[in-house]
Amino acid sequence: MAKTKTIYFCQNCGYESAKWLGKCPSCAMWNTFVEELAKRPSASDKNDWRSTSGGGKRASAPKKIEEIAHEKEQRINSKNGELNRVLGGGIVPGSVVLIAGEPGIGKSTLMLQIALSVNHKVLYVSGEESEQQIKMRADRMSQLHAAECYILAETSTQEIFQQVEKLNPDLLIVDSVQTLYSSNIESAAGSVSQVKQCTAELIKYAKETATPVFLVGHITKEGAIAGPKVLEHMVDTVLQFEGDRHLTYRILRTTKNRFGSTSELGIYEMMGNGLREVSNPSEILISQKDSELSGVTIGATVEGNRPLLIEIQSLVSTAAYGTPQRSSTGYDARRLNMLLAVLEKRCGFRLGLQDVFLNMAGGIKVEDPAIDLAVCSAVISSLEEISVSDKACFAAEVGLGGELRAVNRLDSRIAESEKLGFKEIYVSKFGMKGIEPGNYKIAIKPFARLTDVFGDLFG
């Protein structure tokens, strides 16, 4: 009887070791090694995804780069505008897309909607739900009907590839990759080695047949994708499905994309019959109110190719317990501290003994420095209890000297503000190159310093 062999894997990077190590030599993380049974595949093992039919591997030979014919990829239209946006224009044949998010956020709902709406033969493999459960969810999406959507409740990759060869689908969806099991590895489903092995088999299938594959992935309590970090390196695209389960809006964000931009995002609204695409994100990022409030401003930001207008809410109050608090939601706390220092040093506002709370409405996270001016205006509006007109918006970066710096794609920010009915926009005068104010109905107000903006806003 063969002796059982165990190998230790790093859960973070997938590093393999013959013994347990406290610190991983590859990624320098501590206490990440787990013990698993290992079986070295012999030369007779059929480890190819075609093993069920005995097909051979594709022969390949090196080519000069100038001899390689470049053809524009023919993307598949998913019939979902927000997903097409984050993927860079559609689904690329042969690509492997990993979509991850918290439990109950809507990953399976989104994937089933794509399977039901795309005009191609789709195989939806579920390792978490039965066929009846998927049918119940599909019935709720009454507006969607697809004769070419096939459901398979299976977790063994060998059984899955048998059905794949019989059906020959145009799109394969796996929900989820942590539930898959390959008989080539002697370990439990969801372990580091199983996730790596099953993903490698699916990637091999996708590349050899030019069939796009969607993988649904779990996340850990820290918010990282479950399994080895190498999983994110193996796939072509990584999408994060974000949002609060207690709210209706969801954000689909690209964190890696070999076929497009990594700064795009799609916005959905969770409804009883599925996810609704939000084509105008400003409808959720700007709250409706019947009176002007202090501490509220509108900033013009850009996510990928999409201009967004978001509402910044600020509350400034006297610190009751001596030590002032600095709290921000959806905005970098360190940058907020920097802007507060600029307001105190360059503009003379006493904020050292004030609690400052900042919130990005709609649950969105913003990293664009172009909303610096909107943040500063919201803080001073709350401090002085003077409201800012709800018809004014801001698009400028604030420097450490209190100067206003130019931002990119100012023309698209101005056009979006005009389209949504704003009357004036405050910008940096150093970013006005190529901007003709006469071409816009909105009043463009260029300034050089932060103090000049406050003088115009608050007098």
Binding annotation: 101-108
Listed in sequence order, the residues at least 6 apart from 144 whose beta carbon sits closer than 8 Å to its beta carbon are 113, 116, 117, 138, 274
- 209-220 burial, b if ≥16 CB within 10 A, otherwise e? bebbbbbbbbbe
Angle at 260 between CA 115 and CA 178, to 5 degrees: 50
Annotated binding site for ATP: 101-108
Helix H or strand E segment including 218:
none
Listed in sequence order, the residues at least 6 apart from 264 whose beta carbon sits closer than 8 Å to its beta carbon are 85, 86, 88, 253, 254, 257, 303, 304, 305, 306
C-alpha 105/C-alpha 249 separation (Å) is: 10
Q: Three-state SS for 122?
A: strand
Contacts 24+ apart (CB under 8 A), 41-47: 41/184, 45/184, 47/184
Q: Where are the alpha helices (DSSP H) in 360-449?
A: 372-384, 410-419
Helix H or strand E segment including 235:
none
Give the residue among 357, 343, 318 at the shortest CA–CA distance from 449.
Answer: 343
Q: How, if at all, do strands 326-329 and 122-126 pair? A: unpaired
C-alpha 157/C-alpha 185 separation (Å) is: 11
